[in-house]
């Protein structure tokens, strides 16, 4: 059975057995909070459990490193949608130790892309779009600094509702311990 077939077979049983019952929730976050965190697979369950966040409690946004890269990135747009259209009232930016983006240099990723056989001509196409890969694919050197940077981008956004708390945290992906930045 392929992975997809396996998932679909499981899903049929999930629905049939009404296993969704414990997850029923309103579509607006009851704790009125938006969480931006890393896509790291160890955080799927650990992060919400460590914060006592359940289905329906919060808006969860994920990206590589949990970074808000620029004031007009997709993540920032999602934050604004959560605040204006979904009833959220606070933003938590949560980085984590041992992150894959920590120490990631664009040149390493460009090498890895080339090793997979992506031709130089494809890189030229990206360049033509005005994308600076060296900047776009770069990770960070300090998770605390990165969280601080994201917090400042959100805090200083001209469209942020006045008085919105924007809080930076770091989670340990092994123990779930949360430290304020």
Residues annotated as binding site for Zn(2+)?
38, 40, 96, 99
Q: Total residues at the site for Zn ion (CB under 5 A)?
A: 3
User: Nearer Cβ to Zn ion, position 51 or 99?
Assistant: 99
Among 22-30, 35-43, 117-125, 164-172, the segment contacting Zn ion (CB under 5 A): 35-43
Candidates 99, 137, 153, 160; binder of Zn ion (CB under 5 A) is: 99
Among 44-52, 92-100, 130-138, 156-164, the segment contacting Zn ion (CB under 5 A): 92-100
Q: Should residue 170 be labelled a site residue for Zn ion when binding is judged by CB under 5 A?
A: no
Closest approach, Cβ 113 to Zn ion, in A, equals 20
Instruction: Give the 3-state secondary structure of the chain.
Output: CCHHHHHHHHHHHHHHCCCCHHHCCCCCCCCCEEEEEECCCCHHHHHHHHCCCCCCCEEEEEEHHHCCCCCCCHHHHHHHHHHHCCCCCEEEEEEECCCCCECCCHHHHHHHHHHCCCCHHHHHHHHHCCCCHHHHCCCECCHHHHHHHHHHHHHCCCCCCCCCCEEEEEECCCCCCEEEC
Closest approach, Cβ 146 to Zn ion, in A, equals 10
Task: Annotate each residue in 113-152 with x if it binds Zn ion (CB under 5 A) or - if it does not, as one string.
Answer: ----------------------------------------
Applying CB under 5 A, the residues found at the interface with Zn ion are 38, 40, 99
């Amino acid at each position: 059975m392929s992975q997809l077939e396996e998932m679909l077979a499981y899903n049929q049983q999930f629905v049939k057995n009404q296993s969704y019952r414990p997850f029923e929730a309103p579509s607006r976050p009851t704790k009125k909070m938006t969480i931006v965190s890393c896509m790291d697979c160890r955080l799927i369950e650990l992060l919400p459990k460590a914060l006592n966040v359940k289905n329906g409690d919060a808006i969860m946004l994920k990206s590589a490193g949990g970074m808000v890269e620029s004031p007009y990135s997709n993540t920032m747009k999602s934050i604004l949608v959560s605040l204006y259209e979904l009833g959220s009232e606070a933003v938590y930016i949560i980085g984590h130790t041992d992150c894959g983006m920590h120490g990631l240099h664009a040149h390493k990723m460009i090498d890895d892309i080339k090793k997979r056989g992506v031709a130089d001509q494809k890189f030229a196409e990206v360049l033509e779009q005005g994308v600076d890969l060296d900047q776009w694919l770069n990770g960070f050197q300090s998770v605390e600094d990165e969280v601080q940077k994201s917090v400042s981008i959100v805090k200083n956004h001209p469209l942020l509702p006045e008085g919105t708390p924007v809080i930076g945290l770091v989670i340990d992906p092994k123990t779930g311990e949360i430290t304020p930045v």
